[in-house]
Structure 1
Amino acid sequence: MSPRNSDKNKDVIKELEKTISPILVVNNSSLKPYVELFEYAPENIYQQPLGSLVGFFEVKEFSDESAYVVNFLTSVLKKEYYINPKRPVTESLDSALHKVNIALSELAKHGNVEWLGKINAAICVLEKNNAHFSVSGDAKIFLYRNQSLSEISEDLASDSLEPHPLKTFVNVSSGRLEKNDRMLITSADIFHILPIIEIKKNFQRFEGDKFVQFLKTALSNQIEMIASVVVEMSEVIPIAATKALPRKKSSKAVNAFSQQSFASAKDTETLAQEQENELEMTILPADAEQEYTDEKTGHIYVQGEVNENNENANPQMNLYWDMIKEKISQGSYLTKNEIRKRFSLYKKQLAKKKELRRIEKEKQQLLAAEEAKRLEEERVLQEIQHEQQIAEEQQLAKLHLEEENQRQQENLAQENILAKAEVTKKKTAAKIKVTNIDAEESESEPTADSQLSFKEKLRLARLEQQGNAVIDLKNKTTKETETFEEEIIIQPEIQFETVETISKTTKFKALALENIKKILPLSKKLIAHTKIWLSKIGAIAKNRSHVAKPNKLANIITPHFSKIGKLFSHFSGKQKLFILFALALIFIAPLFIVRFLNRPKAPTIVELQDVPLTQIGALASDKNIDFNTQVQTILSNSNIVTALIANNNPTVVTKNSVIVLQNNQPKEFPIPTDSGAAVSATYMKDLSLVLIFTDSNKILSFSPISEKFASNNIDLSNISSGSPIGTYLTYLYMLDQKNNQIYRFPRADGGFGEKTSWLKDSTSLTNVSEITIDDNIYAISDNKILKFFKGKAVDFSLESSTTPINFDKIYTTPDLQNFYALDTQNSRLVSYSKDGNIIKQYHNEALKDVISLTVDEQNKLAYIATSTGLISLSIQ
């Protein structure tokens, strides 16, 4: 390469001189705590590579809580940027911006949130000939180069609709500055008095300090509070070394007493002034503009080239005329600006009213839809209840019909028994009637014993002997008949005992004893009448012995009452009593039995057994439930501890490894053996770290980006390894049931700092089984959801379902819109809004044996870890 080219390259990369001019305007002293303009230069030689740090912070919320926020942020920014001079400039700036975001999140966490969405800030690093910058809110950075003005900070600020502390500074831009480049760092408030076109014109008209003076004058006259910085890049002008001229020696010796010593010398000051004026006249171009600065107000007035026609005009009148034109221009601009502001305000108010009307209309439509849905659910519920009622009525009718058939069968059996008893009674009455007729015939016949011959007497004796044999046969037949009748009479009683309950049998026995007591006096009378009746029968029998030609059929049918009487007379009194009692039971007891059986039965109440419903049937009336949920098995593993969403990928933590699933392809990373087995885990999104809590009371971090493990310094004394953990921003939260406290660990170099007690009230945490964190901390305790905010428990209620919900697992994050609860007993996942309203329920029989729950709303999937592996559930 030629030496000339080398010299050119040296000129290109030669460092330019930076002129930084800060402009801070605060016309109201009460607004000073809400704006901070800073310009930091390296304090020592080690910080020289980091360059200068310039910019401003401005808060457009003027409450006491927002005061001095900008001062706090400025100190945090400077400390973090210059803390490590060995870091590159870009890394130092990124770290400083992240630190500012964390500081803002800390303020929000302590309840100071009025400034959210109202911070304007611009941060710029000037390092050699490079510029690195970032903006937030309405801050602007302009670059003037080659007679053109451009906004280089466009689209750098966060475009999120909902402001978030950690998204205050999100983008950084860098570029190289050239000779004669000028930068303007300011806020959008400058547009109230200077549109972009006017800013460009004034960049062209003024250079150096004159532009700064112009800008300071314009801003201080029109705006109450604004911060701006002007940066000008220029080439370093080398200072030429001046050589001392040798003193000329006089050729002559000076005579102090000569006349020349008292001669008047030419005024040297006058000569110098004349030379300077001549020099300015030669340097000043013919078309240069003439400027005039008012010493009283600081206004800069630019005078154009003086026309030859106005050479003789009064310069004082020209000055007044220029002042009048400027006042008119300012008045017109202010009027136009005021009209523009009022019109813009009117447009905003109109848009706000339209938005409110739209929101109100949507709210009414939502209420109408909910009401229609509620009515539909009530209708479906009424139909189900009506169907159940009809089924119950049909079942009752069926039971009544069966009871009626059984009652008719019993009545028919009783009628058959009574008919048989009636037949027996008629037969007995017929026998008695025949006997009475024979007795009357025998009484009517004359006695002719004296007239009978011996031959006839012998024939009669033989007939009498044959009659005795017949009587014995008839007695035997009568006993068999009586036994048969007793069986007929006793059989219904046996059947009755089998049909009736034990209590009815006992009542029947008591009733029988009472009837026996009533029958006993009657039986004594019956015995007396029976003796008389037997004596008559004996007399009749004697008379019958005198009959010449007896009827054979009558002898066979008619019993021998004489022998019955003889047998009965030979019995003792006790035996006679038993015989009479047996006869009374045979003929009288059936009447009482029939009367007892014909009593109307008390109606029996049969309780209907509830038919057990299936789980789908039990959940059919629940709100917004989906039974067609799709489930897919992602991974089979029996040692899963928990499942997470880390770096937008499902990540499974087992007892001895971490498994990252990219496109459902598992990649396993073993946990170091000296760290112990994993007990629980959580994900810190701000640092992209999976934090693993082991059984050896250690916290191990895994980075899905670098795919490496690292041990963390943390003091976990007096905290059990089974404590629930969670993260928020760069803080680790740990719930200790033993000490009834929630501890917070801030992130520090090499791990975490000293713990602080976050819980400020005495809420019991003894039965807490799980926690999840967004801007609040949620915990499960005794099947209830506890909510904590700023260290205190707050009221929180979730909408109840028709089938009670069992809270086994819960999950949410600051990035999720909904709150999720898993009910393993009813195999369903319930999605709530953050206000506690049920949005949808997902049912699947696979949701039984669950270990952990995590949700990816972006891909509409819920990942559930079970004892057998990892499954995904569609939450469309």
Structure 2
Amino acid sequence: MRSRTDSRSGKTAPAPLEKNFREIVVGSGRSQEPYIIAFHYASDNVSGQSLGTLFGFFEVEIHDADAAYIVNFLASVAKKEYFANPRRSAVESFETALHKINVALAEIVKHGNVSWLGHLHGALGAVSQNTLNFSVTGEGEIYLARNETLRSISEGLADTESEPHPLKTFTEVSSGELFDGDLVFALSPAVWSLFSPEDLRRSLNRLGPAGFEQFLRTALVNELPVAAVALITCSAPVELQRSKEVKAVPAKPSPALDNVWSDAPFNAAREAKQSVKAAIDAAPSVEEKRGGYTDQKTGHIYVQASPDEAFEPADNHWKERWMLFQHGFETRLRAWNIASRKASRRIGKESALAFGAAGARLSLLRRAAARKARSLKRTFEENQAAKRRAKEEAERVRAVEALLRQPEPEAKPIITAPAETIERAAATSIPSEESDLATPASDRVRRFFQREAQPEMTFGTEAKERLNEFGKHLDRLRPALSASTQRINSAVRGRADQIRRVALFLASWVSGLWQALSPKEKWSVIGVASIVAAIGIIAIIRTEDAPLAIQDAPATPEEKPVTTVFPPADEPLATLLSGNRIVFPTNNSRSVVLATINDAAILCTERAVVNLTTQKSVTTPEKLRLAAGMDDLDAIFAVGESDTLYLWSAVTEKFEKNTLPLPTGANISAIGTYLTYLYVLDQKSGAIYRFPRAEGGFGTATTWSKESVKTDESPAFAVYENILVSDDAGKPALYTRGRNANVAFSMPKTSLSTDALAFDTRSGDIIALDRQEKRIIRWSATGTLLGQYYHESFGDIETLSVSADGSELLVSKQGATTAWRIQ
């Protein structure tokens, strides 16, 4: 074999071997092709020939639509990355290709394709000069045959103990030197269901490389539905020997013939033929050698075995049967081990999914039971109140009936009474301010009939019925008056509590400001306050001395008072909230979003980000118009008025710019986050884009919506496991997997106008804000109406969210944030 000399070390290096690459791929029909591939690739350019050849195989055990053609994708990624930069060394290019494969698999997982995890097997190698670099994953293996021995060179490279992770698919790399006569082959795990390593070694030594390849191809095609083998045969290059100088050999003198027409040559040929025939006749026949005979009648030759060849020794027979039994047992045991490992992995994944689903189901049932209990309690209280009202009404009806059953007085003629009697009757008929309003109307009517008769008045049955009807109207108004009184009292109590809290906050602020002043500044403040007080006293004295100019008020027509009921009595599940809790006073800046980051409530306004737990705020780099929290990264992403994307980290409490590659012509109307994805609503095109998280920002967008999204002028937008959008009619619309789920939401009786939307991440409930009706509405994930919460301050809310524990509703206006208990 030729050799070459290394100019740097001066040592003689062997010449490159000749490598022959071949693949064996078995797939029963075209349905198996997307799940297995074996390949070898060389560079298409002369500059990349120094990198050698890339070879290997990939196989996915799970045959479903999500796992189809992953193997082809991985093979193309490996080829493209390995030969991308010819100036890199072979080892560096191979490691870069493995890293690129891991990153590509991680991107596949990000898109929800996880069925192949734990079911991917593969082997990848690169041969450059006489050096082999290789790595394996799953149950793929690489074997080396050298000097009539066969051993696995990939043992321990694949991590089969830990949980599968896409970034840990290829973890270890090994390398070695190839020599003349070496045979390297990568095997898929299905091959071991037919052969053991010892079987392959014996077959290779008996048949040679060419015969072994044909034997392996025939066995796999005939016995297995899916399998793959990649082989490399190494041999020394063929050297052409230089032709040596040919020495002149003296020619033998040809026999001279006296007469060319004589019969001497014919006699010599005849004698040679006779000598050959005599030699054949003298040789013993086959049947004589083997002790056989020839049947003269049929001409058949019968060969008889010798006594020592008649039967094989018994020990050889039983040894062969034992070897066959041992081979079959080892084959079945190996197949059972492979099947058990696959079953254990599958059972572990299915059990984890089952337990997760069971836990989620139990959580849903628990929340449903709690909501049912609250509903039953509320229904029970309403029934009790209805029974009390019915009982009171029945008592009043019985009292009126008893009054009507009394004998009617005789109709009296019209009596003209003197003026004194008329004045006295009028004085007794007009109730004073101190009269008892709780006296039933029927009693007042009865006393009225017992008084003196008025002039020009006839007391009969018709007058009595009219007065009774008037008394019933008064009785019906009494519950409404009592309910209004209760609402007024609760509003006064809530306003007093709020005033008290604001007063305490102002007092603490003034006290802290006073303590921070120096003594000189304190005396200056006292002097200014004294001057202001003196000026105020003088102004008051002059005002008291000035004559009051009283003008006659213009006559206005008498207006009837309009009584409004809040909340409306006919609205189902309507509740008037009271007793709110002030979380943050105000910062005089429009509230953009309320988010929960690491179980802490964060308020983002146009000018600041405030941690509502620590009351610490950070000023924004510019005026913000949109924002959304990403709990998985402990961050808030915000869009400024210049359409710049900012990231605010809850760890560093700083802002930094991020990249957001919007599609051409796209406009950001609203944003939301889920996991590490950013969702952008483009109201102009009616599309929702999804951006994956990348270094320094987000990657290329994909269109999440599979149909046009119709929204109103100022769309409300919320993202969790699904996406909520307010449609062109102002009602909430739930989108799942890019399409409108057409959830039938139970609508209130008063028309709904959706101004903001939110998810309760604990229960999956849907929250909507209606500023026009000053209410917040709650639905279940299936659209069932769970409650309506009213308050006068809800008409000015800018954003809302549900607390981390789901017990409070956080609302904010101009940075002023309050919490309302909704359970």
TM-score relative to the length of structure 2: 0.52
1:793 equivalenced with 2:721 (yes/no): no
| Equivalent runs, 1:426-437 vs 2, <5 Å | none
How far apart are residue 592 of structure 1 and its match? 7.0
1:388 equivalenced with 2:390 (yes/no): no
How far apart are residue 492 of structure 1 and its match? 1.5
Amino acid at match of 2:377: V
Change (3 A) 1:315 1:151: farther
How far apart are residue 40 of structure 1 and its match? 3.4
Cα displacement string for residues 224-262 of structure 1 (whole angstroms, at most 9, x for unaligned residues): 112245789x9x99x9999989979x9xxx78367799x
1:99 equivalenced with 2:100 (yes/no): no
Number of corresponding residues: 626
Asked whether the equivalents of residues 193 and 331 of structure 2 are also in contact (C-alpha less than 8 Å), the reply is no
Asked whether the equivalents of residues 585 and 815 of structure 2 are also in contact (C-alpha less than 8 Å), the reply is no
Distance 1:686 1:95 in 2: 25
Amino acid at match of 1:174: E
The match for 2:171 is 173
Cα displacement string for residues 112-144 of structure 1 (whole angstroms, at most 9, x for unaligned residues): x79666962436465887967574xx5445789
SS at 1:98 equivalent? helix
Q: Specify which of 154, 158, 177 is matched with residue 153 of structure 1.
A: 158
Q: Over alpha carbons, which structure has the higher Rg? A: 1
The match for 1:809 is 757
Change (3 A) 1:381 1:682: closer
| Equivalent runs, 1:238-637 vs 2, <5 Å | 256=250, 328-329=325-326, 376-377=373-374, 379-389=376-386, 391-392=388-389, 486-488=419-421, 490-493=423-426, 495-496=428-429, 601-603=467-469, 604-605=471-472, 606-607=475-476, 608-609=479-480, 611=483
SS at 1:173 equivalent? coil
SS at 1:787 equivalent? strand
Q: Specify which of 732, 735, 744 is matched with residue 681 of structure 2.
A: 735
| Equivalent runs, 1:837-848 vs 2, <5 Å | none
Distance 1:627 1:185 in 2: 73
More helix by share: 1
Change (3 A) 1:115 1:761: same
Distance 1:860 1:127 in 2: 64
| Equivalent runs, 1:825-840 vs 2, <5 Å | none
| Equivalent runs, 1:755-766 vs 2, <5 Å | 759=705, 761=707, 763-766=709-712
Change (3 A) 1:379 1:735: closer
Change (3 A) 1:348 1:397: same
SS at 1:385 equivalent? helix
Amino acid at match of 2:420: E
Amino acid at match of 1:793: N
Distance 2:341 2:707 in 1: 49
Amino acid at match of 1:383: F
1:226 equivalenced with 2:227 (yes/no): yes
Change (3 A) 1:318 1:74: farther
How far apart are residue 642 of structure 1 and its match? 4.2
Asked whether the equivalents of residues 124 and 134 of structure 1 are also in contact (C-alpha less than 8 Å), the reply is yes
Cα displacement string for residues 653-692 of structure 1 (whole angstroms, at most 9, x for unaligned residues): 665788999x979796964xxxx64322457999999765
Change (3 A) 1:158 1:76: farther
Asked whether the equivalents of residues 772 and 810 of structure 1 are also in contact (C-alpha less than 8 Å), the reply is yes
Change (3 A) 1:26 1:337: same
Change (3 A) 1:730 1:18: farther
Change (3 A) 1:692 1:28: same
Distance 1:385 1:361 in 2: 36
Distance 1:337 1:104 in 2: 31
Amino acid at match of 2:681: L
Asked whether the equivalents of residues 25 and 224 of structure 1 are also in contact (C-alpha less than 8 Å), the reply is no
Amino acid at match of 1:695: E
SS at 2:75 equivalent? helix
Amino acid at match of 1:173: T
Q: Percent identity?
A: 18
Change (3 A) 1:863 1:334: farther
Distance 2:355 2:660 in 1: 53
SS at 1:38 equivalent? strand
Distance 1:80 1:351 in 2: 35
Distance 2:152 2:703 in 1: 60
How far apart are residue 830 of structure 1 and its match? 7.0
SS at 1:94 equivalent? helix
Distance 1:339 1:100 in 2: 30
Q: Specify which of 783, 799, 802 is matched with residue 851 of structure 1.
A: 799
Amino acid at match of 1:491: R
How far apart are residue 851 of structure 1 and its match? 3.4
Change (3 A) 1:187 1:794: farther
CA RMSD in angstroms, aligned pairs only: 7.6
Amino acid at match of 2:384: E
SS at 1:79 equivalent? helix
Cα displacement string for residues 836-871 of structure 1 (whole angstroms, at most 9, x for unaligned residues): 7899999999999563659989x9999988743899
The match for 1:71 is 72
Change (3 A) 1:818 1:380: closer
How far apart are residue 99 of structure 1 and its match? 3.3
Cα displacement string for residues 496-551 of structure 1 (whole angstroms, at most 9, x for unaligned residues): 4779xxxxxxxxxxxxxxxxxxxxxxxxxxxxxxxxxxxxxxxxxxxxxxxxxxxx
Worse-superposed segment, 642-651 or 26-35: 642-651
Change (3 A) 1:342 1:40: closer
Gaps of 5+ in 1: 1-6, 160-166, 262-310, 419-424, 426-481, 500-586
The match for 2:58 is 57
Change (3 A) 1:152 1:840: farther
SS at 1:174 equivalent? coil
Distance 1:497 1:629 in 2: 45
How far apart are residue 173 of structure 1 and its match? 1.0
Change (3 A) 1:391 1:764: same
Distance 1:843 1:17 in 2: 85
Amino acid at match of 2:425: P
The match for 2:39 is 38
Change (3 A) 1:832 1:119: farther
Gaps of 5+ in 2: 1-6, 145-149, 256-307, 433-451, 495-565
Distance 1:132 1:729 in 2: 36
How far apart are residue 765 of structure 1 and its match? 1.8
How far apart are residue 384 of structure 1 and its match? 0.7
Distance 1:855 1:798 in 2: 23
TM-score relative to the length of structure 1: 0.49
Distance 1:68 1:384 in 2: 62
Distance 1:716 1:15 in 2: 55
Asked whether the equivalents of residues 776 and 789 of structure 2 are also in contact (C-alpha less than 8 Å), the reply is yes
How far apart are residue 388 of structure 1 and its match? 1.6
Distance 1:348 1:96 in 2: 23
Amino acid at match of 2:250: A
The match for 1:515 is none
Worse-superposed segment, 865-874 or 167-176: 865-874
The match for 2:641 is 695
Cα displacement string for residues 551-578 of structure 1 (whole angstroms, at most 9, x for unaligned residues): xxxxxxxxxxxxxxxxxxxxxxxxxxxx
SS at 2:725 equivalent? strand
